[in-house]
A and B are shown apart, each in its own frame.
Chain A
Amino acid sequence: MAQVATNDHMETSTGIDNKKLLMWLFLASDCLFFGSFIAAYLLYRGRSLVGPYPADLYDIPFTSVSAFVLLMSSVTMVLALAAVQRGNIRNLRIWLFATAILGTLFIAGQAYEFTEFYHEGLTLSTNLFGTTFFVLTGFHGAHVTLGVFILLSLFIVSLRGGIQQKDSHTIELAGLYWHFVDIVWIVIFTLVYLIQP
């Protein structure tokens, strides 16, 4: 048993790493968080008494590029995980940094979009559309921002030699969080932007 106690990962009765189990539980609970905001957006869609309205503001080509950027960041994230699992730390750094850059691009795009909407007269309190839209996409943006900080932190730690092949579980946990913000945007992009009655 002493041999087991010296291992890198604590063994559990489920056979699953406790941190990974906790991350999936967190993601499951976060589904409810975003589900409620999406439900609120759809519920109050078309009920704003004053403009501007979604059709006046949405720039689908621009948002499509943002969605594509976030989607591709999921690819770079999973390549980072594949790299560290093979023990290729150099590629891990490259893909982690690429993911952080793509995430930052997405955030920059969202900041630009929010600014444009503000100049067009839409604020958090202008109408029901403004309230539900900014709360939903703003909280998603906050999640992406947190993800970028996590990725950059891991990148810096890897530069200092703090991440080796045996630490792939840490990258996997960060990846789970990052992919989650991506799947949330997949849903938001379709339900909020592309489907407009």
Chain B
Amino acid sequence: MTLAEYRKKRGEPLIREDAEQDAHDEHHPSALEYVQIGVILAIVTAVEVALYYIDMDFTLLVTVLCLLSVVKFAMVVLWFMHLKFDASLLSIFFATGLGLTFAAFIVIIALQRGSLT
């Protein structure tokens, strides 16, 4: 029995996490959907590799490759790691980690570039 089910049984009001837990239980993707997502990921990877061999503007190449990478990253995190279906608190934790990483990334490069030039 989940906490949500326990609260329902006791006639207690549901909190936000309970509703999210219910949604989590009901909307997990099927095995077929997981395979479909895997096929999309494989296709995006093939496109990335193909772009590497195409002679194109470097800035455009970097932009497109980064966008495709973000798409793959998001698909794995949202569907395979179930953040799309899990409680929002988990998304907040992970987004905080990612945000701090990106901030540290920018600061490290900005500071070191300044000292190296």
Contact = CB atoms under 8 A, between A and B. Distances in A.
Contact of B97 (A29, A85, A179): A29
Nearest to A83: B31
Interface in B29-59: 29-31, 34-35, 37-38, 41-42, 45, 48-49, 51-52, 58
A32 B90 CA distance: 17
Interface residues of A, number: 58
A147 to B, nearest CB: 14
A74 B109 CA distance: 31
Given A15-B4, A187-B69, A32 B97 contact: yes
A27 B38 CA distance: 22
B108 A43 contact: yes
Interface size class of B (residues with CB under 8 A): 35 or more
A179 B76 contact: yes
B31 to A, nearest CB: 5
29 contacts: A3-B6, A4-B1, A9-B2, A11-B2, A14-B89, A20-B90, A24-B93, A25-B93, A28-B94, A28-B96, A31-B100, A31-B101, A32-B97, A32-B104, A43-B108, A43-B112, A43-B113, A64-B49, A71-B41, A74-B41, A176-B81, A183-B77, A187-B69, A187-B73, A190-B66, A190-B68, A194-B51, A195-B65, A195-B66
